[in-house]
């Protein structure tokens, strides 16, 4: 479920850049609620932490990070979950994947 939401958000972030010329500063800036897109990480809500935490999003210049922090709740660890993107397309998009 987390990966499905991330894949959808990834597309919205890229569309946002097409429309506005820049990536959003935050996921909240895109107002995805109107389209019933969840930015809360379901792993954090239903996992051992049981708290509402948004997916990790950070704009870095002309690129950005977008992922679930996984069960440990910490970014940039082995259990992070990223959107699926064809590596051949990585130059076309701003999404960074470790």
Q: What residue has token string 């097409």?
A: 18
Contact 66, 95 (CB under 8 A): yes
CB atoms within 10 A of CB 88: 7
Q: What pLDDT, in 10s, does the model give residues 19-73? A: 999 999 999 999 888 888 889 998 887 656 666 789 999 999 999 999 999 988 8
Structure tokens at 22: 């820049």
Tell me the pLDDT tens digit for each residue of 11-20: 999 999 999 9
Rg (CA), the chain: 13
Report all structural domains of the chain as residue ranges with CATH numbers, in order of start.
Answer: 2-96 (3.30.700)
Q: Give the span between the Cα atoms of 45 and 35, in whole angstroms.
A: 20
Rounded CA separation 58/14 (Å): 14
Q: What is this structure's pTM? A: 0.89
Beta bridge partners of 56: 67
**26: which DSSP letter?**
S
């Amino acid at each position: 479920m987390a990966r499905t939401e991330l894949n959808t958000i990834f597309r919205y972030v890229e569309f946002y850049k097409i429309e506005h010329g820049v990536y959003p500063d935050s996921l909240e800036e895109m107002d995805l609620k109107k389209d019933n897109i969840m930015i809360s990480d379901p792993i954090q809500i239903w996992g051992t932490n049981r708290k509402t935490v948004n997916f990790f999003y950070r704009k870095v210049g002309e690129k950005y990070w977008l992922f679930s922090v996984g069960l440990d709740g910490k970014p940039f660890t082995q259990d992070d979950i990223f959107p699926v993107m064809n590596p051949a397309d990585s130059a076309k998009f701003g999404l960074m994947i470790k």
